[in-house]
Amino acid sequence: MKLKYRIKKWEHPFAKTYFTAQYKICGIWLNINRMQIGRLFKPSSVICETLYEAKKRISTHKNNMDRAKDWMDRFSSVVWES
């Protein structure tokens, strides 16, 4: 499944402009918060002060999603020190 990403710009007449990084899944746009978790509602943790910060969240989210889909190829090993 291919995710679609966008950056939404919020402009208010008497407040500072801010951005939210979003991705679309099942027809719903979810906000990406600081922990790279999608949120339907808009808590303060999804607000990006700059466009650069929003782009960085999207790139980090893409990297995490690419890494997560390859979980079958990963393996773990336990290393014991004597």
Q: Domain for residue 76, yes or no? A: no
Q: What is the mean pLDDT of residues 2-19?
A: 87
Tens digits of per-residue pLDDT, 24-81? 888 888 888 777 666 666 666 788 888 999 999 889 888 888 777 766 666 655 666 5
Query: Which residue range is the domain that position 64 belongs to?
Result: 4-71
Q: Are 36 and 51 in contact (CB under 8 A)?
A: no
Q: Domain for residue 45, yes or no? A: yes
Q: Are 63 and 55 in contact (CB under 8 A)?
A: no
Q: Domain for residue 53, yes or no? A: yes
Give the residue among 54, 14, 52 at the shortest CA–CA distance from 32: 54
Ramachandran category for residue 75: left, alpha or beta (phi over 0 → left; psi -120 to 50 → alpha): beta
Q: Domain for residue 46, yes or no? A: yes
Q: Domain for residue 80, yes or no? A: no
Q: Domain for residue 35, yes or no? A: yes
Counting the structural domains of the chain, the total is 1
Give the residue among 42, 44, 2, 53 at the shortest CA–CA distance from 23: 2
pTM more than 0.75? no
Which uninterrupted H or E stretch holds 67? helix 51-69
Q: Domain for residue 23, yes or no? A: yes
